[in-house]
Structure 1
């Protein structure tokens, strides 16, 4: 029987009294799971990802922390200019780094090797947090992500906030000591299928473009492009999670 706990953490940064965190597992490397667009902490189990990695969870290799999305206020709020959406995301960034991550460390025996993972919009979050904060999240598994918010019904003026949230902008600008630090600290696994909706969502092209940027900067990463029988959908992500999440433990 998989051990599951339900917690609530303060979330004033998000304008919420608190936020639910669902934890699957009793021991193992902590893995922070970001849901797909607009998702909830219950989607990891509800969409079958837990079943696909249950062996690794029950064996104590990984311990999965599932959180709510903030997309409705940030990236999915298409009525806002992109700069405002990015500012909203940075509030989520603040909550994840300063409230959630310390709670995960405390709950997991003070482990300092929290990995991130997610699918679709969750993949964007997984990669972004690992790249922005590799000292907190040194490893990521990102499946079927799109990594350039400028392509998400964007409008309005460019801003520092958008730049700070866009790996397709900030990674090419890294040089010197900061780049050396990221090279030492981070490792990303980026995965995408070649089937239905992976092209129309832009995920296939964006994933390969992110991998090119990481390669050009010498940032450790693995790129896995699955075949045309793997669409932008849960059956693909269950299979991919079964392959790549247990390897984090």
Structure 2
């Protein structure tokens, strides 16, 4: 097990010659898989003060952050592509997470532990989506200032199965029977959002978060909704405060 904190490693994308990076902070503790904001990199979490906001947890060995690069520029942010094509491309990112990142985390920690996923802005979507679709290894997804309906992201063109199964607002609505019962037993979601600048427009994080929380409530999926006030903006200073407020009770 590596005890090096802040060391970046490159992990190959399955079936491609390219790699994406993972950056670890912390030597022990609850593993937290961190997704950056749109088009972000693994380094963004530390450079924007998020590690420092919970440095006491890191130093005490209560948490290890595994921060990953995004592939948004080729997937969800490729607005010249129709929504369905972007959703299909997103499957490759999921494969990288499943086949490269999860084994790396398990290797680093010497075994499989319940993982927390978290992210801000578009990273919130990634964190919550991955938690709901990988509840066998992720026990909690934390989304801060997220929009959970991919069809609202400059979407165009006809959509199909790829979009449906990448869109929490759609596939959660369609959950039923044994699968829904299993999700109720194994998944949990924490949604945090503010009422201040940029949480409504252009991100639509506030209405999307409220709508998604209402959907989770209807489906009986364990979740918490924490709405901060009108001074709480779609920006790093507030995400630092929100992380410091919530993370200690889970680690």
Into which bin does the TM-score normalised by the smaller protein fall? Answer: over 0.9
SS at structure 2 position matched to 1:128 = helix
Deviations 1:211-244 (A, max 9, x none): 1111111100110000001011111101011112
Matched, 1:75 2:76: yes
* 1:102-117 alignment runs, 5 A limit: 102-117=103-118
Distance 2:246 2:51 in 1: 13
Matched, 1:152 2:156: no
Q: Which residue of 2 aligns with 1:128?
A: 129
Tell me how far 1:53 sits from its aligned partner: 1.1
Gaps of 5+ in 1: none
Aligned residue among 213, 234, 241 for 1:239: 241
* 1:79-90 alignment runs, 5 A limit: 79-90=80-91
Distance 1:168 1:93 in 2: 18
Matched, 1:59 2:60: yes
SS at structure 2 position matched to 1:190 = strand
Moved more, 82-91 or 238-247: 238-247
Distance 2:178 2:124 in 1: 27
Deviations 1:34-54 (A, max 9, x none): 000000000011111111011
Task: Tell me how large the CA RMSD over aligned residues is.
Answer: 1.2
Distance 1:61 1:242 in 2: 13
- Conserved in 2, the CA contact under 8 Å of 1:62 and 1:248? no
Q: Which residue of 2 aligns with 1:225?
A: 227
Q: Which residue of 1 aligns with 2:31?
A: 30
Q: Which residue of 2 aligns with 1:213?
A: 215
Runs of at least 4 residues off by over 6 Å:
none
TM-score of the superposed pair, with normalisation by structure 1: 0.96
- Conserved in 2, the CA contact under 8 Å of 1:97 and 1:136? no
Distance 1:150 1:115 in 2: 26
Tell me how far 1:8 sits from its aligned partner: 1.9
Distance 2:106 2:185 in 1: 21
Tell me how far 1:18 sits from its aligned partner: 2.2
- Conserved in 1, the CA contact under 8 Å of 2:14 and 2:92? no
Q: Which residue of 2 aligns with 1:202?
A: 204
SS at structure 1 position matched to 2:99 = helix
Tell me how far 1:146 sits from its aligned partner: 0.3
SS at structure 2 position matched to 1:216 = helix
Gaps of 5+ in 2: none
SS at structure 1 position matched to 2:192 = strand
* Aligned length in residues: 247
- Conserved in 1, the CA contact under 8 Å of 2:72 and 2:78? yes
Tell me how far 1:118 sits from its aligned partner: 0.5
SS at structure 2 position matched to 1:140 = strand
Distance 1:6 1:197 in 2: 32
